[in-house]
Each structure stands twice: as C-alpha cells, then as structure tokens.
A = this chain, B = another copy of it.
Amino acid sequence: MRRARDTPNGKQRVLDAAAERLVAQGYTATTLREIAADIGIKAGSIYHHFESKEDLFIEVFSRGISVMVDAFESVEGVELSCDNPIDRIEQHVRAHLGALFEHGSYTAAHVTAFFTAPVELRSAIVPLRDDYEHRWNALLADVLPELDTARLPIARLFLFGAMNTTIEWFDPRGDLGLDGLANLITVQFLEGVHALNLQRSTR
C-alpha cells in the first residue's frame, strides 16, 4: 500500500505540524488552533485524535527520543565488524545529528522545546531520555576505558551540549554538511580544539 505511507493519516499530520510549531515557538506559544490551521482542519477536530494538548505533546516529545534511539541503534548494527574507536564515536555523532536535522522535526522539537513544556509533561518523558543517555554512557565507557568513570557523564554532557546547540546555528545545506560537522565535533571532543585544523570537511 504505497498510498498509506505517502499521505500520512490525520493523527500523523497533527503530530508533524505540532512538532514543527514546537521548534519555532515552544510549548505554551503553540496553540491547537495554529496546528489545526497548518493542516487545514479546525481546532476541535484535534480532540478526535488526542485527549488534550498535553497528551498530544507527550507523543511528540517521545517520538523525538524514538528517532534518536533508532538512529543510535542503526549504527550499532553495522559497527561490530571493524572500525577504530574514533570512527565509532563519529558514526554515533553523525547519527545523532541526522536525528536532529534529517528525520522531521521531532528530535529538534525535543531538544529545543523540552524545557518549555510543563513539569508534569516532562516527568512523563524523563525515563525515555534516561534510556538514551545510558546508551551513550555505555558507548563512551566502552570506547574510552581509560576515562575516569566520574568524568564520563560530564564528558557526555559536554558532547551533548556541542551537538544539540548546533540546531541553533548550523545550516545543513552549507559546504560543511552533516558528515563534516560530525567529524569536527568528534575530533574536537576527543583531541581538543587544536585538532580542528587537521581535519578536512572533504574526507
């Protein structure tokens, strides 16, 4: 059934529009009327798909995590074969950036707007966030066994900070590209700022 994938159903279209508005405006500024208008329906119709505004955005935020987790796992599938530690991290950084820029607005919405949502909503999502963070901790512990375990979560937070804030300034259509950006972030993370010069965006 080609058609079913090409034209998303009503619920899917609501979610897509909600994610895009979330990136642009944050939680509170995004109204159900706007979301409805974006996809050509009326606000009341949204309640056929979701019980409340909060309910709708819980699903948007958890999809943001799902996209990241899927990206992470897709790398793990192929990495077993070969690859040095640096490449392993770089592939995961690339996957994370891909989730941010290449798979719709869900992950971008999560990263930029999560803290603009009400606390009750956020606490429903926290376990999913923890899961993703644990995967990264495990990866870093595996690839960098010499790193003090007390320093490992901090290293991950530095890396997340560098990766996630790219959504505020990076243009994936530019010359560098997501592959080049992933490379720069990885070498800077592992070797420091001096190593940036040694890397070329044309690899």
Contacts and interface: CB of A to CB of B under 8 A. Distances in A.
A6 to B, nearest CB: 33
Q: How large is the interface on A (under 10, 10 to 19, 20 to 34, 35 or more residues)?
A: 35 or more
A interface, over-half SS: helix
Interface string A16-47: 00000000011111000000000000000000
Interface in A184-203: 184-185, 188-197
Given A116-B29, A197-B146, A197-B151, A169 B192 contact: no
Given A148-B196, A192-B191, A194-B190, A161 B166 contact: yes
Contacts of A168: 115
A193 B193 contact: no
Interface of A: 25-29, 112, 115-116, 118, 144, 146-148, 151, 154-155, 157-158, 160-166, 168-169, 184-185, 188-197
Given A164-B165, A165-B160, A112 B115 contact: yes
